[in-house]
Structure 1
Amino acid sequence: MKPILYTILICTLVLACTRYPAGVEETLSQAGKNRSELEKVLRHYREHPEDSLKYQAACFLIDNMKWHLSTERAVFPDSSLFEWHTRFDSLYTNMMAIIPDTALYSDRHRERFWHFSYAARQLASVFPPDTPTIVKGTFPDPQYIPSTFLISHIENAFHVWHASPYASYLTFEQFKEMLLPYRAVTGYSFYENGQKLNDMFSKHLNKSDEKTYARFISRYDHYKDYIHQMYPYYQQLQHVGTYDMFVGQKYDCISLADNFCHVFRAYGIPTVVDCNISFRERTGRHFHCTLLDSTGKYSKYNQTRNYSASKISTAASPSFFRNTFGAQADSPFMLKAEGETLPDYFDTPCIREVTDENYRVAPVQLPIDKELSNNLVYLYTFNVSEGLAPATWGTVDHQQKKAWFKNVVYNVLYFPVYLKGDSIIPFASPFYITSPDTLYTSATFVPLYPEEPEKKGKLLLKRKYPEKTSLQYRASLMIGGRFEAANREDFKDAVLLGTIETTPILNLQELTPEICRPFRYYRYVATDSFPTSNMGLLEYLTDEYTPEDSLPPATALPVCSPEEINPNRTGKRYCTLQVDTNNYRYLRYYSAYNPNMQYSSYRKIDLMPLKRPMKVKKIRYAPANAENHIVVGHAYQLMYWDNGWKNAGTRLARYNFLQFDNVPLDRIYWLRDLTAGKEEHPFFYKDGKQLFIYHDTIVPRATEFYHIENHF
């Protein structure tokens, strides 16, 4: 009997010694043939008491590994890509031996780098590296991460945690998310661990004169840009992990942020990838990096120059989310009820909302007047592609029939909804909260609903999107620009036709020349203070022509109201003079003479050479603009909010305005351009005027944004 008891005791002790935390065991059960590799990592650190913290780190990685996967993998046919990188890296290192930070982009060194890069690219083109093959599929991390990769990665992470002055202050909990992870964005392929990346980049980052984040970023950008120039050009349109930085043309914000985060973590700088899944005024989403320093100050790295992601502006995102490696207990994935649908981006436990790091936020509670089986509700914001996009989530208090939201941003228009299958169902009126005027006042909750729901009326609409401040400013810089004419190509006999004296409107306008006689050459000359034409459309008009001239009719001046329509108008028929493209081929597709006002000329002088001298009776011009006014010939659809977007009618624009009759009043409206254009924005209609949100009403204040240093 005693031998049996001893055997049971020994077996129990052995099982107790080999058992891992529940989350780790769950991952191991999903690892398949790779289980032994993951257990090898755990045993490596558990056998030595001095590695107890590393064992905890390994458990953290393996525990949360089950939430991560890649959707594609690159198969490298040989080592040529890596061998060429080694050669280019050595060449770059020699070139950078004594160049200080301030001279990285000097003209002298830029030219020198260009010659070196050209020679390297020509050499590599003789024996170019083989293009990797991209395999699509689902590749769960537990089934593919080898022990050597993970152990080397953990060792590097601990080394830089203790050795780096930018990381040594981190707590273990901070370390686990800002330095330790081998993955920054789930779904993206990776091929190098922290040790390899540290070996690749640290020697270049260490050359920085001033050990600041801005200088490190400058060195990093310079290195990857110039190594990229050395590789021969070929189409690599799929992601190849770290080597996205050097080969191909895959420049999307996710891969840029993902690679940057890996490199800076490996070097010992706490970094995470943050994103927004919508903007207040624009379409799309954006990923960028956030860096933390020892003072608790955040910095942003955002190389795609999508300034809206981190700049104080009305185009900023209404919310920000952090990609984490560990599952977050308060994520929608963890809070949802059984069978509850989540918005696509929220369907992972590895996100954490960090809106409160960027904006001042307030909690809001809303009543729910219906029985919900969901645990979650959402605040959506306007998004032009789908009408609505998720901004933040809230939890449902079923007993009190209320929804609780933690991260409500001031002066953002929200639509409270819940999800049922694929349907987005509103449960309360749209609202916004105003920011406090002083420290002694509180925020104001402003619901938006019609006081007279049955009242209808007429709307006269002139735009689908507000005028952009940046374009208005550029137009104001055109004041002082002049129109000239001459019969000599060098304009030594030039005469002044007219000068821009006031800020041009962001549409077509007309100027009558002071002198009208035949000239062979016409031109617009920008000012010396702003030596950029900024002309989106420029037409020189005449009514003296022959059929052989084959002149197209002039673009009509805008008609922006019914009162401006004159059915009996019988003015002269002006036609547009045409550029002599036979002798001036470069003007064939020139922006200033292209009838698309969304693109502008960037030259100081817009030249219009003719085949023969002709008189100019009128000059019509328009600064570069987004053509967000009503465009003749486009089809438009008016929508209004009534527990969802409802159709108020469709119109084909005959003039530069639209009139809709018998429309429900006192609503939130959305004018859609069904023909072209992507920029559309909700508005109110008061006293015969369109009032766009974030411009004419619900306007954000600078005090609502935290100051965060940005690096571009």
Structure 2
Amino acid sequence: MKQTMEKKNMTRRAAVLLFGAVLSCLAACTHPSGLERTWERAGKNRAELEKVLRHYGDDSRKHRAALFLLEQMADCYSWSGTNIDTLKRLKQLSGLPGKEAWTDSVKKAWNFPQLLSCTKVYDAQVITADFLIRHIDHAFAIWDSRPWSKYYPLEEFIRHVLPYRLGDEPLEDWRESYYMHFANRVDSIYSGGDVIRKTQAVETIINRDGFQWNELFPSLPHLGAGYLFRHRLGSCRESCDFTLYLLRALGIPSVTDHYIVSPHTSGMHWWNAVRDTTGSLVPFWLEESKVGREMDDGRPKGKVFRLEFGGRTCDVTSEYFGRNVARVRIGSDIRASRILLCVFSCGRLVPVGQGEVHRGEVAFHDLEPGIRFFPMYRHQSGDLRFAGHPFCVDSLGSTVFYVPDKWNRTRALLRRKYAFHHHLKERGLRMAGNRVTGSSRRDFRFPDTLFTFPRTLKTNRHVMVSASNRPVRYLRWDAIPSRFNVSVAEIAFHEYGTGRKLPFRLLDLPSPVYGHGVSNMTDGDVLTTYQAKEHGPQTLVFDLGGIYRLSDMLYIPHNDGNYIEPGDTYELFYQNGSEGWKSLGRKTADADSLVYEGVPGNAVFWLRDLTKGREEQQFVLDGQGEQSFH
């Protein structure tokens, strides 16, 4: 999906803010003087909060739960301002049929700075004892009724079931309304005591009801339980918020985890995870992966973080990949006491961790195996500079360094400048094998198979030679793209003998998504697409307006524009430790691939498109000299 500039800027801002939060709490996720800070923040409302502790004076479990909420409350807040209410209303309206046309103008009128006029309202200053007591009592009542609760320590319930908020959303009494609306529906699917099967039932209900993808105003605070209860829309963060409210309302220990920036593509991503009775974490995201003990969304993560109640961001990478450590030597010429652990994303190195230099060495803990990281330091000029060669931790826990081997050079065959987003890869694989049949009759009584879609993702330009010599007028494409909608960037049919591109009109056409009409199939732009509204099998019928023998069909699938484009100028770099990126020269593409001879072995490379675009990712070469972005 083509990102808006607003979203890109928001992602950069959020990445900086999140990393700042991460650095402040990598060592621990506990607050040394939480209760004192809450009393100080509460001011005149302190007496109201103290009522809660007195109320549970004879109940050790609930007293411990109340104490936890109060200890972590000092930095809990929501935003107040009419701008936020207006933006949330506009976001909801933008998802209604026929409202898409004005979203661009709305984006221009309302943007991130609007939030600066809003104010923070701290929970400690306004929350009531009745609110907290009602919340705690209801959470315990549901928890104690669940068969799985006996397998968890109290601390798991307190941290990952009890909290009354997720982030900076409005302060709301949501728990009972979620339970009353969903509990019986979920139980009708599964009423047993397996917490993972119960979560699968929750997933089924949410998918039945639907959750609308909507990226309008990504800078908004968390939308809140009430808003998402009424309006199931948003991006991955909002879908995770809604899922988390529901899971916790049903007494299921659950969290939302995220990475600051992807080591594979770009940007942040959030997903949910449930704590199994065995102590294992079962991650999932409704849009992509099913809930299951052996399931994995397949996304490279690098480093994983969790926003806990109270605003603390914790490094939880070890819960996904176990414990490990990478020890990296730092050159004596580098005057830095702290080295940053960075991930490459679209030409930038983004910090996701740090380590202290001790005797010329820095130790980085808990890294996803197989992910390439870059050690960097902050120069006195303020710039980030390389402190050594890229490295990764392998599956055995050993540290592997990518030191260019200039004595063993190889040939590089380059087809892309950016990793495949898994959506595009899966979409391409699902479209493979589709067939286009042709006939001189509109009813296709005697059809011939003319074209079969290839099973390759090496290029975005597929020219398929006709398998039949019979002249046809009508062409029928029975598209079976599984869970995806039909989406085509370009399509063309050429006459045999002349090579002439034949005009056509579509007779049967699934209704398009707004802004993705049929004209996008023939506009010459590989980034604009026709997209069908409905998902699943679709049929497109083309009328050539006359009977022709076809030589071939050009098909360009829904793609990201990151293949090698003829006419674009590229520059290839390799990473050379503290010396940084070294150029291997510029080339202008005259085909859908580039070849560089004699590049260093064992190196990390970066291919830049100097003509257009911003999505670029580092890669290595496999034994055949082809790119591996993993």
TM-score, structure 1 normalization: 0.64
2:39 to 28, 32, 40: 28
Deviation for aligned residue 1:543:
7.3
Return the alpha-carbon distance in structure 2 between the equivalents of residues 469 and 534 of structure 1: 13
- Aligned equivalents of 1:216 and 1:174: distance in 2? 18
Shift of 1:406: 2.5
Alignment correspondent of 1:92: none
The percentage of counterpart residues that share the same residue type is: 24
Q: Distance in 2 between matches of 1:254 and 1:177?
A: 20
Counterpart position of 2:103:
none
2-structure distance, mates of 1:582, 1:240: 43
Matches of 1:646 and 1:308, distance apart in 2: 44
SS in 2 for 1:303: coil
- The answer to whether structure 1 residue 448 and structure 2 residue 402 are counterparts is yes
Q: 1:584 to 1:614 in 2, by over 3 A?
A: farther
Q: Secondary structure at the match of 2:237?
A: helix
- Indicate the SS of the match to 1:154: helix
Once residues 178 and 524 of structure 2 are traced to their aligned partners in structure 1, the CA distance between those partners, rounded to angstroms, is: 50
Partner of 2:350: 389
C-alpha displacement of 1:148: 1.8
2:445 is equivalent to residue 492 of structure 1: yes
Which residue number in structure 1 is paired with residue 462 of structure 2? 508
- Asked if 2 retains the 8 angstrom alpha-carbon contact of 1:166 and 1:268, the reply is no
Tell me what 1:316 maps to: 300
- Give the root-mean-square deviation of aligned CA atoms: 4.8
- What's the secondary structure of 2:148's corresponding residue? coil
The correspondence of residues 654-693 of structure 1 with structure 2, limited to 5 A, is 654-658=590-594, 667-673=603-609, 680-684=616-620, 689-693=625-629
1:153 aligns with 2:115: no
**Among candidates 240, 251, 254, match of residue 271 of structure 1:** 254
Task: Check the 8 A contact 2:508/2:539 in 1, yes or no.
Answer: no
- Structure 2 distance, partners of 1:177, 1:534, is 43
CA distance in 1, matches of 2:229, 2:594: 50
Moved more, 412-421 or 175-184: 412-421
Change (3 A) 1:631 1:26: same
> What's the CA shift string for 1:344-392, capped at 9, x where partnerless?
xxxx6x22222222224422222344599987544222222x5333444
**Cα distance, 1:152 vs. partner?**
1.7
Counterparts of 1:582 and 1:379, CA distance in 2: 55
Unaligned stretches of 5+ residues in structure 1? 1-20, 82-132, 327-347, 437-442, 545-571, 695-712
**In structure 1, distance between residues paired with 2:363 and 2:55:** 46
Shift of 1:414: 1.4
Shift of 1:418: 3.8
Kindly provide the amino acid, as one letter, of the partner of residue 489 in structure 1: R
Tell me whether 1:578 sits opposite 2:503 in the alignment. yes
| Cα distance, 1:374–1:36 mapped onto 2, change above 3 Å | farther
Specify the SS of the correspondent of 1:576.
coil
Alignment correspondent of 1:292: 275
1:57-87 deviation digits (Å, cap 9, x = unpaired): 323222221233334568999xxx9xxxxxx
Q: Structure 1 residue aligned with 2:315, among 343, 353, 376?
A: 353
Shift of 1:630: 0.9
What's 1:41 paired with?
52
Which of 143, 155, 160 is 1:178 aligned to? 160
**Aligned residue for 1:252?**
235
Match of 1:556 in 2: none
Q: CA offsets per residue over residues 1-49 of structure 1, 9 Å max, x none?
A: xxxxxxxxxxxxxxxxxxxx9531222112234333223323433xx3x
* AA at the equivalent of 2:129: S
| Structure 1 pair 616–193 and aligned structure 2 pair: CA distance change class (3 A) | closer
Change (3 A) 1:665 1:75: closer
- Give the structure 2 partner of residue 167 of structure 1: 149
Question: Does 1:188 pair with 2:169?
Answer: yes
Conserved in 2, the CA contact under 8 Å of 1:160 and 1:167? no
Alpha-carbon distance in structure 2 between the residues aligned to 1:646 and 1:324: 42
CA separation in 2, counterparts of 1:201 and 1:281? 37
Structure 2 counterpart of 1:428: 388
SS of equivalent to 2:139: helix
Q: Are residues 68 and 586 of structure 1, via their aligned partners in 2, closer, same or farther at CA, if it must alter by over 3 Å?
A: closer
- The CA deviation at 1:54 is 3.1
CA distance in 2, matches of 1:156, 1:360: 35
CA gap of 1:51–1:372, structure 2 versus 1, over 3 A, is farther
For residues 371 and 413 of structure 2, what CA distance do their matches in structure 1 show?
Answer: 26
- Secondary structure of the residue aligned to 1:463 is coil
Alpha-carbon distance between aligned partners in 1 of 2:291 and 2:264, rounded to the nearest angstrom:
10
Do the aligned partners of 2:200 and 2:291 also contact (CA within 8 Å) in 1? no
1:241 equivalent in structure 2: 224
Aligned equivalents of 1:259, 1:582: Cα separation in 2: 41
Partner residue in 2 for 1:414: 373
2:550 paired residue number: 616
Question: Equivalent residue for 1:365?
Answer: 327
Q: Is the 8 A contact 1:361 1:410 kept in 2?
A: no
The one-letter amino acid of 1:36's match is A
CA distance in 2, matches of 1:227, 1:624: 27
For residues 481-503 of structure 1, give each alpha carbon's deviation from its aligned partner in whole angstroms, at most 9, with x where no partner exists: 354231x3223355x37454974
**Secondary structure of the structure 1 residue equivalent to 2:366:** strand
* 3-state SS in 1 of match to 2:493: strand
Kept in 1, the 8 Å contact 2:202–2:247? The answer is: no
Picking from 274, 277, 280, the partner of 2:263 is: 280
Give the secondary structure class of the aligned counterpart of 2:72: helix
Deviation of 1:224 after TM superposition, in Å, equals 6.2
1-structure distance, mates of 2:78, 2:475: 59
Q: Distance in 1 between matches of 2:132 and 2:431?
A: 56
Once the two structures are superposed, what CA deviation does each residue of 1:166-195 show, in whole Å capped at 9, x if it has no partner? 2234323333212232223x3333412545
Residues 1:210 and 2:191 aligned together: yes
Aligned to 1:58: 66
Aligned mates of 1:271, 1:668 — CA distance in 2 = 38
Tell me by how many angstroms 1:430 deviates: 0.9
Superimposed CA distance per residue, residues 611-658 of structure 1 (whole angstroms, 9 cap, x where no aligned partner): 333443444445665554211344545444344456666665444344
Partner SS state of residue 282, structure 1: coil
Which residue identity is paired with 2:325? P
CA deviation vs aligned residue, 1:635-686 (integer Å, no higher than 9, x gap): 5454443444566666654443446799888642222346666653322358
Counterpart Cα distance in 1 of 2:73 and 2:480: 60
CA contact (8 A) 2:409 2:600 kept: yes
Contact 2:439 2:475 in 1 (8 A): yes
Secondary structure of residue in 1 paired with 2:173:
coil
Contact 2:289–2:295 under 8 Å retained in 1: no
Describe the shift of the 1:428–1:523 C-alpha distance in structure 2 as closer, same or farther (beyond 3 A). Answer: same
Amino acid at match of 2:433: L
Cα offsets for 1:125-179 (capped at 9, x unmatched): xxxxxxxx99833233322322221222222333344333222343233332122
Q: Structure 2 residue aligned with 1:632, among 566, 578, 581?
A: 566
For 1:368 and 1:25, locate their aligned partners in 2 and report how far apart those are by CA, in whole Å.
42
Q: CA deviation at 1:404?
A: 2.4
Task: Label 1:197 to 1:538 Cα distance change in 2 as closer, same or farther (>3 A).
Answer: closer
Partner deviation per Cα, 1:425-453 (whole Å, 9 max, x = no partner): 332221123223xxxxxx44321122449
- The 1:594/1:586 distance shift into structure 2, 3 A limit, reads farther
Could you list the runs of 5+ residues in structure 2 that have no partner in the other structure? 1-31, 90-113
- d(CA) in 1 for partners of 2:224, 2:308: 19
